[in-house]
Amino acid sequence: QVQLQESGPGLVKPSQTLSLTCTVSGGSITTTNWHWSWIRRPPGKGLEWMGAIGYSGGTYYKTSLKSRTSISKDNSKNQFTLQLSSVTPEDTAVYYCARSLGGNWYDYTGYDSWGQGTQVTVSS
């Protein structure tokens, strides 16, 4: 069974860049058709898909976040990363990585594997 685990700093200062890594085990991030997403949940709010990277390297972003979001992957390490620049307290959330087959990003039932989530707080 594929397993995902998020890692990175739990506290980021405003205006800095949030950087997280998702480590995948039990499956390869290069396997045909799979997509690898970052999803977050702000306190008291619902899930928000942020962006994804496909098995062959194509990237997809939520329009409102595209200008400050970058997702990349390292096939040799079986990892993919999230970088979110110019953060504000509104970016405080639990951040998840997850796997899906297609591009229906906002159907959260379509993700078959999730990381446990990692809390990131933006505060000075």
pLDDT tens digits, 70-87: 999 999 999 999 999 999
* Two structure tokens written together for 84: 């979110």
Q: Flag whether pLDDT at 100 surpasses 90.
A: yes
* 3-state class (DSSP) for residue 75: coil
pLDDT tens digits, 22-63: 999 999 999 999 999 999 999 999 999 999 999 999 999 999
pLDDT at site 111: 97
pLDDT tier, 102 (very low <50, low <70, confident <90, very high otherwise): confident
pLDDT at site 1: 92
> Mean pLDDT, the chain, as a whole number?
97
Q: Is the dihedral of CA 10, 50, 84, 101 positive or negative?
A: positive
